[in-house]
Amino acid sequence: MMVNSQFVMVHVGQSTEAQRNLVHGIETRSWGFPESKPEYAGAQPKFAVLATGASPRVQLDQWLAGTATLYLFEVRKGFYTGHAPHWPDEEAEARVKYPLRFGIEPLAVLQNVPLGPAGPLTEAGSDAIRRSGTDRGMGKLVDMPVLPLLDLAGIPVDTTAPEKVPLDKSPGFTGDQVAGKKKPQRRRRGAGYISDPKKRKAIELHAENLAIAHYESQGWTVERLGKPYDLRCTRGTEERHVEVKGTTGAPTSVELTINEVLHARDKDNTVDLYVVSDIALDMQTEPYTASGGEVSHYRDWEPAEEDLRPRRYEYRLPLSSGSTQ
């Protein structure tokens, strides 16, 4: 007997705006709805499926005969109220359109998945996607097994604890893999990265300022470094290093360099991770002004292998001589 997990199922439309928001949501590990619903109260979804490529405005039997692209996520931050514009259309209108949010970690993208009995979804799970598409993309909650989806994605898990997905064993995906999108250059992803350098600078500076204020209030003397870590804190004979990350989205994952990982794992270092999420950004000022945010503070931080997903590889060339031009 397979164990059920709670899912939030979402249909994402094919409009330019919907697909742009999908890319941004994948890149920044966040999703949101325009309002709350009674069934969300107390809900604790463990996984999310964002589906695209199939029209929901059909009868159930016709829907079950079709296929869709499924983006499978682990939910890392449950439903919360966002206070800062985050998606492109929110920033364009300078208002929060999707205040009910949750944090998502990409696990796998599954193309041309049957929506009926031949696929990995239960009928209730599949129908939840269809109903989401006729309800302004509002998420529908459903309990169903996650193992068929993880098996289809080739992600190994302990079948007795299927909700414990090892990130280092999952392929992950980027916003560039949205169906029909041309393949652009690879870019860094996650809560620690913002594509616009002016936005990135304002958000990073705000997060650092909050971190400095926190440590100084605890009696630490703080020095900004930037590399190999952001802040050096001293108090008497004590020394603590702080890595700071900021985002307008959810506190789901952050981008780390190999040097940041190695530094945090060095037993000679005492390292904290200080993450500020849901930061509000005013782009009408010059420079941009950041404010607010929710703090996630991890003391004595050491990133575990199962919580890391490699993004790049160093390739050692063979010893045999190659041809030269």
The Cα–Cα gap between 76 and 104 comes to 6
Query: Which positions ≥6 away from 33 have C-beta within 8 Å?
Result: 98, 100, 101, 137, 138, 139
The Cα–Cα gap between 237 and 246 comes to 29
pTM of the model: 0.84
The Cα–Cα gap between 160 and 323 comes to 52
Domain extents in the chain = 4-177, 197-307
pLDDT number for residue 267: 95
Q: With contact defined as beta carbons under 8 Å apart, do 174 and 23 qualify?
A: no
The Cα–Cα gap between 296 and 251 comes to 7
Lowest mean pLDDT across 23-37, 65-79, 167-181, 293-307: 167-181
Q: Label residue 160 by pLDDT band (50, 70, 90).
A: confident
pLDDT number for residue 324: 53
What is the DSSP annotation of 268-321? T--EEEEEEES-EEETTSSS-EEE--EEEEESS----GGG--------PPPSS-
pLDDT, tens digit, for every residue of 253-273?
898 989 999 999 999 999 999
Q: Label residue 74 by pLDDT band (50, 70, 90).
A: very high
CATH of segment(s) 4-177: 3.10.590
Query: Which positions ≥6 away from 28 have C-beta within 8 Å?
Result: 86, 190, 191, 247, 248, 249, 250
The Cα–Cα gap between 107 and 130 comes to 22
Q: With contact defined as beta carbons under 8 Å apart, do 104 and 25 qualify?
A: yes
pLDDT number for residue 179: 46
Q: Residue 130 has which token pair? A: 């269809």
Mean pLDDT of 5-22: 93
pLDDT, tens digit, for every residue of 163-212?
889 888 999 988 777 745 544 433 444 554 455 789 899 999 999 999 99
CATH of segment(s) 197-307: 3.40.1350.10
Mean pLDDT of 134-146: 95
Instruction: Decide: helix, strand or coil at residue 241.
Output: strand
pLDDT, tens digit, for every residue of 92-127?
888 999 999 999 999 999 999 999 999 999 999 999
Instruction: Decide: helix, strand or coil at residue 63.
Output: helix
Closest CA to 181 of 35, 53, 324, 67: 53
Element (H, E) at 167: none
